[in-house]
Amino acid sequence: MNTSSSRLVFVIAIVACCASLASPTRGDHKHEELDVGFFYDELAPYGEWVPIKEYGWVWTPHNAPPGWRPYTIGNWTFTDDYGWFWVSDREWGWAPFHYGRWVLDKHHGWAWVPGTEWGPAWVAWRSGGGHIGWAPLPPAVEWSVDAGLNLNGLDLNIAIHSSHWSFVEEQLFLSPHVHEHCARPTRNITLLHSTANTTHYTVVQGRIVNAGLSVKHIERTLGRPIVRLHVDVHASSTSTRRVEIKGTRINVFKPMVVRRTTKRTSRSDAIHRNTHSSHAPSPSTSSRRSIKVQYKSKDSRGHSKEVHQRWKIENRDHDKGHNKHKRKEGKRRRKHGHD
C-alpha cells in the first residue's frame, strides 16, 4: 500500500468568517472544522492505532514508561476562561488530554478513545486530608452542553480503579513536573478513603469549565495567590500544537473537530465512527476493498507478537464463493483418493 493510499485522514477545512461567539478568548479569527480523522496523521508518529472490540480504533502512545498513566507528565495550571487546565509535556498532548477518553486495556495498556468535545482536561477529582487526586474519566462518561457531565449511572468511586489515580500533597499540586511528587500507587487505596469526590464541570458563556477544585482553598494552602492565565485559542490546522505560556497568557491549540457524514476510507472512517461509540466499527461498511489491521497478541508461550490481518470488503461475497468452491473441490479429491 503506497503512501497516498494509506493516508487515512480527511482534513476537510470549512473556513468560517466570524470569530467564536461563545468565548471571549483571543487568538485565530478563522475557524476550521476538521474531521475526527485529523487525529490519525497527527498522532501516528507518536503511537499506534489499534482496534479494541468495545471502542473501535484507539491510540496507544509509544515508549510509555512503566507505571505511566494519563495526566502525569506535565503540570496543572489555572485559567480564567476554562478553570483547571492540564499542560502536557508531550508533543502529542494537545489531543488525547483534551478530547475523548482514556481506557486501560489488558492487551495494549493505556489507550485513547477519540472524541470531538474539547475540554481543559477530562478528569475526575478527589480532595481532602491534605491531598489532591485526579484520574482520567472513563469512556462511558459523556458530555453535552445541555446536560453537562453525564455519568450514565456510573459511580466514579467504583468505576475508576484505584491504580488509575494520581495523588499529590496539596502544596505540591502546582509543581512544574507534578509526576515527580505523585504518591506511590500502593498508597492510593488509603488516599481514596481519606479524600472525597469533587468532580465538577460547568459551562460559562459557552465554555467548558473544569471547576473540580477550590482555588481559594489551594491559595490558602500555598499562602499565596494563584496566577490566573488568560487563554488565547488557536484553531487553525497550521497552528503550533504545543501549549505556550507567555506571562499571564497561554496559547492553546483547540481545533473544532466534527463527525462528517460523507464516505471515508478504512481507518479514518473507523476513527470517525468510534468517537464515543460503544461498539467497534465494522470494516464491511468501508468503501475500501480491504484494510490492514495490526494488533498485538500472544503466542502459545505468552510472548507478544505482531499479527496482521487483512479484511476483505468489496469482494467478500466473491471470497465466500471461492472458499465454498475450494471445500467442494477438497471433498471431491478425497473421495477419489487424491489426498
* Average pLDDT of the residues in 306-329: 42
Q: Which residue has the higher pLDDT, 260 or 226?
A: 226
- Residue 33: its pLDDT value, please? 79
Rounded Cα distance, 172 and 188, in Å: 17
**Lowest mean pLDDT, pick from 55-69, 236-250, 316-330:** 316-330
Q: Is 335 a member of any domain?
A: no
Residue closest to 78 by CA, chosen among 244, 215, 246, 222: 215
Q: Residue 86: phi, psi to the nearest 5?
A: -90, 125
Q: Is 169 a member of any domain?
A: yes
Q: Is 64 a member of any domain?
A: yes
Question: Confidence class of residue 258 from pLDDT cuts 50, 70 and 90?
Answer: confident
- Residue 326: its pLDDT value, please? 52
DSSP SS3 for 132: strand
pLDDT at residue 157 is higher than 70: yes
**In contact, 220 and 7? CB cutoff 8 Å:** no
Q: Is 145 a member of any domain?
A: yes
Q: Say which residue the cell 487505596 belongs to.
A: 189
pLDDT at residue 68 is higher than 50: yes
DSSP SS3 for 275: coil
Q: Is 74 a member of any domain?
A: yes
Cα distances (Å, whole numbers) of residue 124 to 53, 60, 137, 178 = 25, 21, 6, 17
For residue range 125-136, list pLDDT tens digits in order: 999 999 999 999
Q: Which residue has the higher pLDDT, 295 or 184?
A: 184
DSSP states of 300-333:
TTS-EEEEEEEEE-TTHHHHHHHHHHHHHHHHHH
Tell me the three cell numbers of residue 148.
453537562
- Residue 36: its pLDDT value, please? 85
Q: Is 82 a member of any domain?
A: yes
Residue 102 burial (C-beta neighbours within 10 Å; 0-12, 13-18, 19+): buried
Q: Please state the domain count of the chain.
A: 1
Q: Which residue has the higher pLDDT, 77 or 19?
A: 77
Q: Say which residue the cell 481545533 belongs to.
A: 255
Q: Is 161 a member of any domain?
A: yes
**In contact, 256 and 235? CB cutoff 8 Å:** yes
**Which amino acid appears at position 333 of this protein?**
R
pLDDT at residue 333 is higher than 70: no
What 8-state DSSP symbol labels residue 70? S
Tell me the three cell numbers of residue 236.
487553525
Q: Is 66 a member of any domain?
A: yes
Rounded Cα distance, 236 and 282, in Å: 32
**In contact, 252 and 93? CB cutoff 8 Å:** no
Domain hosting 46: range is 3-288
- Residue 145: its pLDDT value, please? 82
In DSSP terms, 110 is beta-bridged to 104
pLDDT at residue 95 is higher than 80: yes
Q: Say which residue the cell 488525547 belongs to.
A: 96
pLDDT at residue 181 is higher than 50: yes
**In contact, 25 and 209? CB cutoff 8 Å:** no
The C-alpha R_g of the chain, in whole angstroms, comes to: 23
